[in-house]
Amino acid sequence: MNIRFYNAKILQTAENHTFHIVEGELWVKGDSIVYVGENSATAETAAENAGSGKEAPAWDREIDAAGNLLMPGFKNAHTHTAMTFLRSYADDLPLQDWLNQQVFPREGQLTEDDVYWLNILGIMEYLTSGITSNFDMYFFPPVNAKASADTGFRTVQTSGLNNYGGTVELMEENYHIVNELSDLTSFIVGFHAEYTTSKELMEGVAKLAQKLKSPVWVHNSETKLEVAECKERWGITPTQLTDSLGMYEYGGGGYHCVWFEDSDFEIFQKRNLTAVTNPASNLKLASGICPVKRFVDNGISMAIGTDGPASNNCLDMFREMFLTSTLAKVREMDAECISADEILYMATAGGAHAMLLDDCDSLAEGKKADIIMIDLQQPNMQPENNIVKNLVYSGSKQNVKMTMVNGKILYEDNQFNIGFDKKEIYRHANEIIGRMK
């Protein structure tokens, strides 16, 4: 579709992880942004003002933004989407007990069909939070990819390979299937964690990454116990171990990255890796607080993820931004240690770069039309002293008026346009967990 937004405030990414706002209009043609500029009385006048080579398309729809904010969609840089079935089911336990006593036994009962429906439920929640793409780790990657393609959502996946399931050969097969399935789906090499994966499997992952020239992603140093046990086994930290195996020849990064040592920061800096913080999950599981300021001070790229809906339990990037900022301040006992602009950058462009979605990182000509509209007419967005700070410190899912992915509006004014009736999705989800009780 060709869509013209006008009378909009448009959030544009500037240098040094900052933002500025322009007032005007934005054009979407097909799946891409083709024009961002000043408001004009008509689209034809805007085309004239844009200079040679610009022509107003035949509009399928023209949307008066009425002074609301258009901004890049949030990128949920770490999650396990299909764990929606365990939301509020396995709670109030430490990580290892949570995994071994509650999560793993029930995940073992999931079918491919289950994962398909549970992914769609998660995608619906992403859309309500202004999330336009996610970085997922879960079972049956081709099924996960199909759920995204069928709903029009953008998903990047990595493998959860571990001693209890999967092979390096299957990961390579899934890599090709998912990357070739749709322009909305892609796959990057990875594995679950050092503590669930044999050295032989990890060596196989490293070789596959080198063969495919792929980054590698893994849960890394989430808990103090994880790091201590890794050092007992190998005499080095998870970061040091994975680096020594040749994992990061083509980049990648780690999820959580809470309990880092000096050498771990050095490796991330040297290898140009990204740390993805998941503050709500780390708080709920009492795992610790990520040293966000040190990553930023060392020039290490950062992104933000929700983690899965069983450990969070809410797939809400507004809450994650607030927690990322305020926990960093408390950890450092320094209210100035990190800016709202830096946090918003992590939640948008930082996640896009981690997920190799460089064409989805900002609102500019030639970029993919992954756009959200924020309702600035809600009380929590007034007054407009600083819109970026409003987003990070007082923003809420209630402010998401529209979510567009790849040029298609999938969510608008509390209504979904994903090709499924929401009642059908809810019924499937409840039947799946009901079967396991």
What pLDDT does 142 receive? 98
In a domain, residue 436? The reply is no
| DSSP secondary structure letters along 169-219 | HHHHHHHHHHHHH-TTEEEEEEEEEGGGS-HHHHHHHHHHHHHHT--EEEE
CA distance 105 to 193: 18
CATH of the domain at 406: 2.30.40.10
What's the mean pLDDT in 1-5?
95
What is d(CA 107, CA 338) in angstroms, rounded to the nearest whole number? 38
Q: Is 328 found in the same domain as 261?
A: yes
Domain count, the chain: 2
Residue 396: Cβ within 10 Å count: 16
Task: Give the tens place of pLDDT for each residue, 172-182.
Answer: 999 999 999 99
The domain that holds 288 is classified in CATH as: 3.20.20.140
Question: Quick one: which of 190, 199, 229, 236 has its CA closest to 80?
Answer: 190
Kindly state the average pLDDT of the residues 332-359: 98
Mean pLDDT computed over 272-290: 96
Mean pLDDT calculated for residue range 366-378 = 98
pLDDT per residue over 93-140, tens digit each? 887 888 888 888 898 899 999 999 999 999 999 999 999 999 999 999
Are residue 338 and residue 404 in the same domain, yes or no?
A: no
pLDDT at 49 over 60: no
Per-residue pLDDT reduced to its tens digit, 16-45: 999 999 999 999 999 999 999 988 655 566
Q: Give yes or no: residues 250 and 367 share one domain.
A: no
Instruction: Give the integer Cα–Cα distance in Å for 235 and 271.
Output: 21
Across the beta sheet with 252-256, what order do the strands follow? 74-79, 131-137, 154-158, 185-193, 216-220, 252-256, 274-277, 301-304
Same domain, yes or no, for 207 and 347? Answer: yes
* 247 within some domain: yes
72: cis peptide before it, omega within 30°? Answer: no
Pairing of strands 415-416, 69-72: unpaired
Per-residue pLDDT, averaged over 200-204, amounts to 98
43 with 153, same domain: the answer is no
According to the model, what pLDDT value does residue 300 have? 98
Beta-strand pair 400-405/408-412: antiparallel
Residues with Cβ within 8 Å of residue 67, at least 6 apart in sequence: 7, 8, 9, 376, 377
CA atoms within 13 A on the CB side of 125: 25
Question: Rounded to the nearest 10 degrees, how much is the dihedral formed by the CA atoms of 275, 278, 281, 284?
Answer: 90
pLDDT score at 359? 98
Mean pLDDT estimate for the chain: 95
In a domain, 155, yes or no: yes
Do both 332 and 312 map to the same domain? yes
Query: Does the pLDDT value for residue 290 go beyond 50?
Result: yes
pLDDT per residue over 236-272, tens digit each? 999 999 999 999 999 999 999 999 999 999 999 999 9
Which of these three, 317, 339, 358, is where a domain ends? 358
Give yes or no for residue 437 having a pLDDT over 80.
no
In a domain, 422, yes or no: no
434 part of a folded domain: no
Strand-pairing partners, residue 111, are none
78 and 68 within one domain:
no
* Cα–Cα distance for residue pair 415/247, rounded to 1 Å: 43
Residue 47 confidence (pLDDT):
60
Percent residues over pLDDT 70 in the chain: 96
- Domain interval for residue 112: 74-358
pLDDT band at 52 (very low <50, low <70, confident <90, very high): very low
429 in a structural domain: no
* Residue 390 forms part of a structural domain: yes
In the predicted model, what is the mean pLDDT of residues 348-375? 98
pLDDT over 90 for what percent of the chain? 89
Does residue 218 carry a pLDDT above 50?
yes
List residues bridging with 402 in a β-sheet.
Answer: 373, 412
User: What local confidence, expressed as pLDDT, does residue 92 receive?
Assistant: 87
Same domain for 151 and 204, yes or no, is yes
Contact 352, 339 (CB under 8 A): no
From residue 417, how far is each of 252, 409, 410, 414 by CA, in Å?
A: 33, 7, 5, 10
298 and 338 share one domain: yes
157 lies in the same domain as 275: yes
Q: Is residue 327 part of a domain?
A: yes
Q: Do 386 and 336 belong together in one domain?
A: no
Counting Cα atoms < 13 Å in the Cβ hemisphere of 388 gives 22
pTM: 0.95
- 243 & 108 share domain: yes
